[in-house]
Amino acid sequence: TYQSWLHWRKAIVAHSDAIDCELVAALCEKTWRNCQIALLARAAAICTAETCPDAEQREAALSGCLALWNEAWELSLKRGELLCKEANPSHPKRADYSLYLNRREPLHNIPPYRFMAIRRGAEEGVIDLGTVLPKNDIKKLFKGRDWLASVPAWRDDAERASNELVLDMLPSALLEHFDNEMRTQAHDAAIQRYLELLVSSPLQTTVCGAVYVGSLNRDVGLAVVGQDKTVRLGKTLDPKEMSIDGIVEELRRFQVRQVAMPESAMASHRLATLKRGLETAGFEVIDVPTNAIVVARAPQLEADPELRSEIASAITIARRAMFPFESWAELDPIALGLAEYPQALDEEHLRAEMIEIRDFLESSLLGGDPDPRAAGMRPGIKPGNLKNLNPMVNELSDLRPGMMVDGVVTNVSDFGAFVSIGLDREALVHISELSDEFVKSPSDVVQVGQRVQARVINVDLVKKRISLSLKSGTGAPKPKSSSGGGKPSTSMPHASKKPSSNQKPANAPPGSRSAALSALENLFKK
């Protein structure tokens, strides 16, 4: 990830004096974590020209140190544990973290949300966080390492060698790794969720009904909104007196066929009952997220102080169903609460990246029009021109996990690539599924207009989402076409597993917007 690369670069700078020699600098090209840089710096300070005069032996020793560290790292990830001790039994927040106290968590199987909770407990002084390493197995790795004999300090003291090269540094390195990794996953998950909200499929209808269910002690909101955004109906219903038949009658007066309802509610049983009743009556029920519903409905309540909040909420979810991009884009993305443990993330960085995605979609893909219904979520992209990509795939239900499909990359961003497979809905290849190798930037692997062969890994028929993978077994990306649809170039895109020391971070989505639009225009002129 970019954050991992950034920490790696900072380590290069921090240890620049120790790795200033040509030998160590060359070894740094084989690293991709900051802890590896720190290990090489420590080893180089011990294995010097004075302590190990023979250059070849010194090179073998330093290379061996790096290889040994990597083996110990992988072994610790597989067999190591996260140790959560109780730091202060009288801490006022002890009860908040009681589930994690005096427990061990396998490092290879700890989910991000759990680690973030434990990390927060450690920051608040409730948990004393540590690691349990397979020390005996790690020490066995040192046996048969001939290069150890070239360094007197290690040759004569195996315990010192294991401590200096691995055990002293590994616990803190693992915690730092998991901290960075989990923060990155939480960050990426929030970005992914925001993207999914922005590109949600709008309802293709002239009128949409909405039933809003909140808490147990509040009325139910009922609304009908037209495609012209006018409110045809707005009323509240007393839960004790309302009936499914009454709601059905109201909705049918406006020829409503689709009804937007909250994905979840505090009055969950009431919500489930109403959903079943409306579906039984023949309505299509659309689940709509209620994130930041209070913020979203505020302008309506300010404009009409007499308007009930339940009605405003119903109007809001109806508009989210009909005009998803516009509805979600007008809100502060951070206010949507899409990130787990947001206090552990860089809020301003997350907001800036979300806004960049929103602006990019609006100006480059939506042509400035906030209502994407006119062209299958991508005005300017005509899915019909790609219908022949997969002749046997005519709709989402034709797709199956494991199926191989042909596609064309229609957009590349920091978090992955959009691929058209001939349907009205594009598929997403997340950055983690672009290659078996480390991918710093998706543009290192794919380009707009490039034809690819991918494997379907997930199809969500309800939310109309398609996830693809370009990893091994899926077929390597085909050579990208030249601008204007000429012959394919002979160069193949590739991803560098380990960033080189002269690479610089990409602070914006790869490629200019005008270039992306030009490539798309050329592609769909074929």
pLDDT digits (tens, 9 = 90+) for 306-354: 999 999 999 999 999 999 999 999 999 999 999 887 877 888 888 988 8
Nearest in space to 9 (alpha carbons), one of 507, 510, 499: 499
Distance CA 159, CA 448 (A): 54
pLDDT tens digits in sequence order for the chain, 526 residues long = 445 555 566 666 566 655 556 667 677 777 878 888 888 888 888 888 888 888 888 889 989 999 999 999 999 999 999 999 999 999 999 999 999 999 998 998 888 888 888 988 999 999 999 999 999 999 999 988 888 888 888 888 888 888 988 999 999 999 988 888 888 888 888 888 898 898 888 888 999 999 999 999 999 999 999 999 999 999 999 999 999 999 999 999 999 999 999 999 999 999 999 999 999 999 999 999 999 999 999 999 999 999 999 999 999 999 999 999 999 999 999 999 998 878 778 888 889 888 888 887 776 544 444 443 333 333 233 334 455 678 788 888 889 888 889 888 888 877 788 888 888 778 889 888 898 888 888 888 888 778 888 999 988 887 778 999 998 753 334 333 333 333 223 222 222 333 333 333 333 333 333 433 343 344 333 3
Assigned token pair, 337: 């609460």
Q: Are 415 and 195 in contact (CB under 8 A)?
A: yes
* Tokens at 498, concatenated: 């380990």
Per CATH, which fold does 381-523 belong to?
Answer: OB fold (Dihydrolipoamide Acetyltransferase, E2P) (2.40.50)
As given in the structure block, the two tokens for residue 12 are 């290069």
pTM above 0.75, yes or no: no
Give CA–CA dist 505/339, Å, rounded. 24
Residue (of 144, 516, 160, 170) closest to 366 by Cα position: 516
Other beta carbons within 10 angstroms of residue 236's beta carbon come to 17
Q: What is the CATH number of domain 207-322?
A: 3.30.420.140
CA 506 to CA 449: how far, in whole Å?
21
Q: Which residues contact 503 (CB under 8 A, 6 or more apart)?
A: 5, 440
- Would you say the C-alpha torsion 304, 310, 311, 313 has a positive or negative sign? positive
Residue ranges of domains in the chain:
2-193, 207-322, 381-523
Specify the residue for token string 């370009």.
470
Residue 202 contacts residue 184 (beta carbons within 8 Å): no
Counting every residue written for the chain, the total comes to 526
Q: 415 near 356, Cβ under 8 Å? A: no
Element (H, E) at 312: helix 309-322
